[in-house]
Amino acid sequence: MRRALVTGVTGQDGSYLAELLLGKGYEVWGLVRRSSGAGAARLAHLAPDQRARLRLVEGDMTDPSSLRKAVREARPDEVYNLAAQSHVRVSFDLPEHTAAVTGLGALHLLEALREGGHRPRYYQASSSEQFGRAREAPQRESTPFAPCSPYAVAKVFAHETTVSYREAYGLHASTGILFNHESPRRGEAFVTRKITRAAARIRRGLQRELLLGDLDARRDWGFAGDYVDAMWRMLQQDAPGDYVVATGVTHSVRDVLDRAFGRVGLDWSHHVQLDPRFRRPVEVAALVGDATKARAALGWAPTVDFAGLIDMMVDHDLALADAEARGGTPPPPAPEPA
Ligand code: NAP
Ligand code: G4F
């Protein structure tokens, strides 16, 4: 039985990846923090036979000894490093924490692999934010990085460290430069989910208004389930590499509002207010990716388009709002930190 170690297993991508790997017969070891209460809910739906092959090991990306222990115990064939402080605006408030977890954490993990002597294949969760004020559009593997947030700087560090460990020590280490990907399991502080949650709750009379920072920003949004499949495909290649994963289509925050509120039959302009607290000190205005290499080399293609993605999220959030209205679970969304 193949074994995989997944950091960030309680996150959006971690839960989809764990599901994918368990479905392929892997034993999955997930690194979890003691404080991972809410995130653990993302793994609650696993079938009993899958749950039996999911082993949770306590650890933290800022604690190298816990990573060494996790690697020693799991003896993985594949390691997926998904753990991060992943919120861009929050990284301006917590720059050192973000650097420690998102940047240095990857180095600690790579060192644990190198020192361990056991040489699993390694995946690094890189980000389209690394392109920042992008020098060209669409962005591809050769586009220079121009990070403009503490998060993006930390991701560039982790990315370049991965490339340098590949070159220096011959590790089978790959990076996936993933553009935004969303799902019903997306954290509620990211803009798509913030909007779909609000559209559903406003429709059901549980909320009146939605506060947003910027309606003009454009992103290339895909479905998280598709993107974890690309991660797995990278580690099945004979040679490691770097891959952009994207749909190639860009939309604005305003487009998300149109689709989500349209789905519930409301006019968003009656409910949305701009609030500068949700703006970033520096905004990445537009990103769009060119996944030609991933399509050709990995045989990967997205299966869910923008409209299908937003509809899927709204429908899920309508069911949550219905449960909330009936007085059942879940509680209202936690407010996005401002
Ligand atoms: P997410 O939902 O925010 O999940 C982040 C995960 O990291 C959670 O499991 C979290 O655990 C864990 N984590 C945070 N700090 C940690 C620490 N100090 N030690 C150990 N674990 C820690 O993120 P995601 O959307 O699934 O994204 C997965 C990865 O891909 C991240 O590295 C993100 O930066 C990157 N990425 C995401 C996108 C996207 O659009 N989603 C695009 C490009 C790259 P808790 O449950 O304990 O908080
Ligand atoms: O949903 P977002 O917070 O995602 P962002 O900043 O693009 O980062 C996400 O995708 C990255 C990949 O490019 C990942 F690496 C990263 O970990 C994360 O998953 O914001 C999307 C856009 C931004 O331009 C933001 O300024 O929406 C804009 N926006 C407008 N109003 C808002 C809001 N974002 C949030 N979170 N909250 C708002 O009220």
pLDDT tens string 74-93:
999 999 999 999 999 999 99
64/43 same-domain check: yes
- The predicted structure's pLDDT at residue 289: 98
Reply yes or no on whether the pLDDT at 56 is more than 70.
yes
12/109 same-domain check: yes
Q: Whose CA is nearest to atom 47 of ligand 1?
A: 36
Q: Whose CA is nearest to atom 38 of ligand 1?
A: 180
Is the shortest distance between the CB of 192 and ligand 1 below 6 Å?
Answer: no
- The predicted structure's pLDDT at residue 118: 83
199/280 same-domain check: yes
Is the shortest distance between the CB of 62 and ligand 1 below 6 Å?
Answer: yes
134/198 same-domain check: no
Instruction: Tell me the C-alpha distance between 304 and 226, whole Å.
Output: 8
- Residue 95 sits at the vertex; the CA angle it makes with 93 and 100, to the nearest 5 degrees, is 140
Q: Which of 6, 7, 13, 288 to mutate to test the pocket of ligand 1 (most atoms within 8 A of CB)?
A: 13
Reply yes or no on whether the pLDDT at 160 is more than 90.
yes
What CATH number does residue 193 fall under? 3.90.25.10
Instruction: Tell me the C-alpha distance between 302 and 279, whole Å.
Output: 30
84/98 same-domain check: yes
Average pLDDT over residues 221-238: 98
CB 36 within 8 A of CB 7: no
Instruction: Tell me the C-alpha distance between 271 and 261, whole Å.
Output: 10
- Indicate the number of domains in the chain: 2
- The predicted structure's pLDDT at residue 337: 76
Nearest to 254 by CA among 271, 268, 266: 268
What CATH number does residue 77 fall under? 3.40.50.720
Ligand nearest to the CA of 148: 2
Average pLDDT over residues 234-245: 98
Query: Residue 41: pLDDT band by 50, 70, 90 thresholds?
Result: confident
Ligand nearest to the CA of 57: 1
Residues annotated as part of the active site = 127, 129, 151
Q: Note whether residue 111 is domain-resident.
A: yes
Is the shortest distance between the CB of 86 and ligand 2 below 6 Å?
Answer: yes
Q: Note whether residue 240 is domain-resident.
A: yes
Q: Whose CA is nearest to atom 21 of ligand 2?
A: 191
What spacing in Å lies between the alpha carbon of 83 and ligand 1's midpoint?
Answer: 4
Is the shortest distance between the CB of 101 and ligand 1 below 6 Å?
Answer: yes
Report which ligand 1 atom has the smallest distance to the Cα of 100.
18
CB 286 within 8 A of CB 277: no
215/309 same-domain check: yes
| Least confident range of 31-45, 80-94, 224-238 | 31-45
Is the shortest distance between the CB of 194 and ligand 2 below 6 Å?
Answer: yes
| Least confident range of 29-33, 38-42, 220-224, 329-333 | 329-333
Average pLDDT over residues 289-310: 98
Nearest to 234 by CA among 287, 164, 178: 178
| Least confident range of 99-108, 147-156, 324-333 | 324-333
- The predicted structure's pLDDT at residue 331: 67
What spacing in Å lies between the alpha carbon of 325 and ligand 1's midpoint?
Answer: 30
62/157 same-domain check: yes
| Global pTM value | 0.98
Is the shortest distance between the CB of 33 and ligand 1 below 6 Å?
Answer: yes
Instruction: Tell me the C-alpha distance between 330 and 75, whole Å.
Output: 37
Report which ligand 2 atom has the smallest distance to the Cα of 213.
31
Query: Residue 338: pLDDT band by 50, 70, 90 thresholds?
Result: low
Nearest to 144 by CA among 152, 153, 157, 132: 132
Is the shortest distance between the CB of 66 and ligand 2 below 6 Å?
Answer: no
Is the shortest distance between the CB of 280 and ligand 2 below 6 Å?
Answer: yes
Q: Which domain holds residue 278?
A: 183-219+249-287+305-327
Reply yes or no on whether the pLDDT at 330 is more than 90.
no
Name the more confident of 337 and 160.
160
